[in-house]
Amino acid sequence: MVLPECCLLLGGRETAQIAAAAPEQNHPLKQSLIDLSCRYQVYMVAGTIPVLADDGRIYSRSYLFAPDGQVLGQYDKLHLFDVDVADGTGRYRESDTFCPGSHICVVDTPMAKIGLAICYDLRFPELFRALTLAGAEVIVLPAAFTQVTGAAHWQVLLQARAIENQCFILAADQWGQHNQGNRHTYGHSMVVDPWGRVQACLPEGLGWLHTQLDLAELAKVRNSMPVQTHNRFAPPTLQAL
């Protein structure tokens, strides 16, 4: 299961995230997600929740939980959404609230090797290449893409990242109006296969997607066109801030 970014609360601006932030050790939102994974006995990529950093700032953190609630991996959003958008919010400045992460995350599960990314990360192909070089076969992307940027770029970027890295992309996006209608997210949660085909999509509304991933197809695509071995550029490295 893959949940969207800000899966338990979104709000309009970031005041709701600040109010809900807590240390990881006793975070009530984290425990709620652990309870869900245990109740339904699923591997779950738990969107994002706000987690207090040691310096008092906040991470936008995604977890991968096992069916027994064990944390298999965690990832703090690397790229913060500091942009101007022609919508009801207008000015987004995540860095006013959040601090960026410092590592990538790929988790080996019984299903596949899963890489973690979040929302705005989609615009940075170096991250997806780094995840692929670290072994990722499936890359999950919890997101809260705006209506404006989503309509322009969401699907084409998902397909590009899947094609470039010959991997499955599982993208769960928020949908609807938030903060009394001032914020509008795009929806269109979808699964894209390693050839760039959209296997499933939920354009609008609340709901869920279900599909089966064929890792044999992934191997076929990578073996027939081994782009990673053909790439003449150095592997990406994460710059310290």
Catalytically active residues, by annotation:
5, 77, 119
Q: Residue 191 corresponds to which tokens in the numbers above?
A: 């699964």
The SS3 of residue 32 is: helix
Max CA distance (Å), the chain: 50
Which residue from 129, 92, 85 is spatially nearest to 236, judged by alpha carbons? 129
DSSP assignments along 43-83, one per residue: -EE---EEEE-TTS-EEEEEEEE-TTS-EEEEEE-SS--EE
SS3 content of the chain, % helix, strand, coil (to 5): 30, 25, 45
